[in-house]
Amino acid sequence: MPNIDVSGLVTREVKYGENSRILTVLGKDSGKVSILASRARTNRSGLLTATQLFAYSDFTLFKGRDGSLFKLNEGEAVSTFPNIRNSLEKMAYASYFCDVVNQICREGSEENELLALILNMLYLLDRDDCTAEKAVKIRAVFQFRALAAAGFAPDCDGCAECGDGAVRYFSRSGGVFYCEKCSENGNALSEVNQGIFNAIKYIITSDSKKIMAFSLSDTAMKYLADIGEEFMRIQLEHDFKTLDYLKNVIALG
Ligand SMILES: [Zn+2]
């Protein structure tokens, strides 16, 4: 079997037997891949950095004769996001983002849009000037954009019933907006103002390089992140334990 080169982000690691780990890697062009990393190999070749959680690395893999799992041959870290590793809060954000990506992605399908998104968010999180407020914005952007990549983009063409541009409610179950008089048609409604509506529309339609170029007050940004969180929970039908953990870490300050 020839070697296979994969560049990707380590989004999960699980202990396997006494001496090994199974890594989940979101690879460029390859999507989600499971990789068996034996301790003998990672210790001997100094691969611990390349195989740690949240590392983006170039891997060389091979497939054993026996099984379906890829095995790690070589690896070199491209980016390890050191500031994330130095902060409990940033680690909690990164864990949540990886959890979401692992939930959305299926093995065997290319997921370059989600990979680019999470790398962009980790890069912003890793910056020295990433404050607690900026992290809330990163979470808000990540949630809506990840859902859009997964096919759950909110419909931002005004009121879903009458088309009026003056929307007042967002349906977290339907992914649509309603004006005041049509709101009785919607379920799981969150009240929104024009600023929140514009922000959601901006997040799902903007060029990825300009994705952070919008502003809201800190209170509105938190509200937006909370709507996104609930929208995600309903659309993916999944509760993220890493989100509960993130909230606990934030509460501890
Ligand atoms: Zn209406």
97 and 73 belong to one structural domain: no
- Do 76 and 165 belong together in one domain? no
Q: CATH number for the domain including 217? A: 1.20.1440.120
Q: How far is the CA of 123 from the centre of ligand 1 (A)?
A: 40
Q: Are residues 147 and 210 in the same domain?
A: yes
Let me know if 142 is exposed, middle or buried by CB neighbors in 10 A (0-12, 13-18, 19+).
buried
Verify that 239 and 146 share a domain, yes or no: yes
Å from CA of 159 to ligand 1 middle: 5
Domain housing 91:
85-252
pLDDT digits (tens, 9 = 90+) for 35-84: 999 877 777 767 889 999 999 999 999 987 766 789 999 999 999 999 99
187/173 Cα distance (integer angstroms): 6
How much is the pTM? 0.95
pLDDT at 206: 97
What percent of the chain has a predicted confidence (pLDDT) above 90? 88
Q: From ligand 1's centre to the CA of 204, what distance in Å?
A: 22
Task: Verify that 132 and 228 share a domain, yes or no.
Answer: yes
Q: Which amino acid is at 207?
A: D
95 and 59 fall within a common domain = no
Instruction: Collect residues with CB below 5 Å from ion ligand 1.
Output: 159, 161-162, 164, 179, 182
- Let me know whether 74 and 108 are in one domain: no
Mean pLDDT calculated for residue range 186-208? 96
Last residue of one domain, picked from the residues 80, 113, 136:
80
Q: What are 72-130's pLDDT values in tens digits? A: 999 999 999 999 999 999 999 999 999 999 999 988 899 999 999 999 999 999 999 99
pLDDT at 39: 78
Helix (H, G, I), strand (E, B) or coil at 228: helix
- In angstroms, the CA 27 to CA 94 distance is 17
Q: How far is the CA of 111 from the centre of ligand 1 (A)?
A: 36
Q: Ligand 1 mean position to 243 CA, how many Å? A: 34
**Domain total in the chain:** 2
| pLDDT score of 201 more than 70 | yes
Whether the per-residue pLDDT at 218 is higher than 80: the answer is: yes
| Same domain (yes/no): 133, 204 | yes
State the distance from the centre of ligand 1 to the C-alpha of 88, rounded, in angstroms. 44
